[in-house]
Amino acid sequence: MTENYLTVTALTKYIKRKFEQDPYLERVYLTGEISNFRNRPNAHQYFSLKDDKAKIAALMFKGAYQNLKFTPEEGMKVLVIGRISLYEASGNYQIYVEHMEPDGVGALYQALEEMKVKLKKEGLFDAPKQLISTFPKKIAIVTSPTGAVIQDIITTIKRRYPIVQLVIFPTLVQGAKAADDIVNSIRMVEAKGDFDTMIVARGGGSIEDLWPFNEEKVARAIFESKTPVISSVGHETDTTIADLVADMRAATPTAAAELSVPLLSDELIKIEQMRLRLIQSYMRKLEVLSHRLSRSLESYIFKQPQRLYEGYAQNLDILSDRLERTLSEKIQIRKQDLKLIHYKLMGANPIQLIEQKQRDLQLQNQRLLNEIERYMQNTVKRVDYAMQSLDYLSPLKIMNRGYSYVTKEDKVVKATEQIQLNDRVHIYLHDGEFEATVINKMEEKK
């Protein structure tokens, strides 16, 4: 039944994973008193944090410990930020400290971290930076008009680049009203709009002293500035939000002055070097051109310029002969084509066609006349034949042989029953007619 039992290692790994997967233990803000502390130079620090009723083991790795701005001491009350996990070898849980500060300013550090997260999320830290002018003509200095900071900046700039114009905007850099005063000075610089660079600076101090440069309003004013901003707030180990949003950060006010202007003596040396280099370059260029000119003057083109065109003249002769042959061949071909077209045109001459049509028309007219004449002859014969047939059938022809016909009241009498005694009738003979009266009627005997 041993398969139901866990090993100590398995249980410890399980508990460790529970610690590491808990989101609430991933980042813990803890306050307590340092206990069992022994400073180990250039090494990891092991100590405990306790209060009146509990104690927790703590570990701070060398890299995080070296960034501390104070020296921890036994019994010191501190604020720490870290994560909770389990050390498997001993089975003890402990806090891995990432940041530590003396208690009393913890709220400011927490507010600072929250502001950094907010502004970073909005992109103020990662936005493209403006380039600092290499040769500024006019620099605005936003800082306190008294103290070593302004003197260091002025002394350094005038020593390095005395031709630049410096304009100081007296500004509160510490206290409750400092943030608004810094914003107003930045806006005054922007309103003038003729500055090449702006330096925002103050000396070192505690986090409370530097806090105006962590204010959101100051950060947004620097970010929105159209004039490139060099920020130099505090000492080299101090980093404010103003430093993060500025176009360039300087570790010290003196460094800011050095970054804002070049060293005039070096620039003059560079200009002189460039002048000499330019002269040397022109001299070499002149030598090259002179050598090229000499070579050109020795060329046959200038001594015997006709040789330049000999090849072209020969090519021209060859092309002229080729053109003449080509034109002759084309003309001969065109002549043959013209003859062929002439023959075709003569074959389709409209005069000959008209003459042929006229001959055809005369032939058709002759045929028509012959047909008309033949038709007339046939018609005359048919008329003569019809007249003879009609003459043979004519009653007059019969009457010439002694026959006649009788009419009564303009009606031909065909039977005796049509007339009565004393009727007046007309009798027609072949040479005339006469009128008679019926005095007797004899019917045919049946």
209 and 271 inside one domain? no
User: pTM of the predicted model, to two decimals?
Assistant: 0.47
11 and 67 inside one domain? yes
Determine the angle formed by the axes of helices 106-122 and 216-224, rounding to 10 degrees: 30
Residue 185 lies in a domain: yes
Residue 346 lies in a domain: no
- Tell me what pLDDT residue 439 has: 85
Domain coverage including residue 405: 399-437
Residue 60 lies in a domain: yes
265-318 pLDDT, tens digit each: 988 999 999 999 999 999 999 999 988 888 877 776 666 777 767 777 788 888
Best-predicted range by mean pLDDT among 71-80, 89-98, 340-349, 407-416?
Answer: 89-98
181 vs 89, residue with greater confidence = 181
Residue 257 lies in a domain: yes
CA distance 15 to 19: 6
Residue 114 lies in a domain: no
74 and 16 inside one domain? yes
Residue 215 lies in a domain: yes
Residue 383 lies in a domain: no
Residue whose pair of structure tokens reads 């304009």 in the numeric block: 167
- Specify which residues 111 forms β-bridges with: none
Number of domains within the chain: 4
136 and 24 inside one domain? no
CA distance 185 to 179: 10
15-70 pLDDT, tens digit each: 888 888 888 888 899 998 888 888 888 889 999 999 888 999 999 999 899 888 77
Q: How far is CA 402 from the centre of its chain?
A: 129
Contact 58, 78 (CB under 8 A): no
Which CATH number belongs to the domain containing residue 240 in this structure? 3.40.50.261
The confidence band for 427, taking pLDDT boundaries of 50, 70 and 90, is: confident
- Tell me what pLDDT residue 411 has: 85
User: What is the SS3 assignment for 355?
Assistant: helix
133 and 80 inside one domain? no
Give me the phi and psi of 158, to 5 degrees please.
Answer: -65, -30
252 and 168 inside one domain? yes
pLDDT at 446 over 60: no
Residues in CB range of 307: below 8 A, 6 or more apart? 300, 301
| Helix intervals (H) in 207-249 | 207-210, 216-224, 241-245
133 and 208 inside one domain? yes
Residue 93 lies in a domain: yes
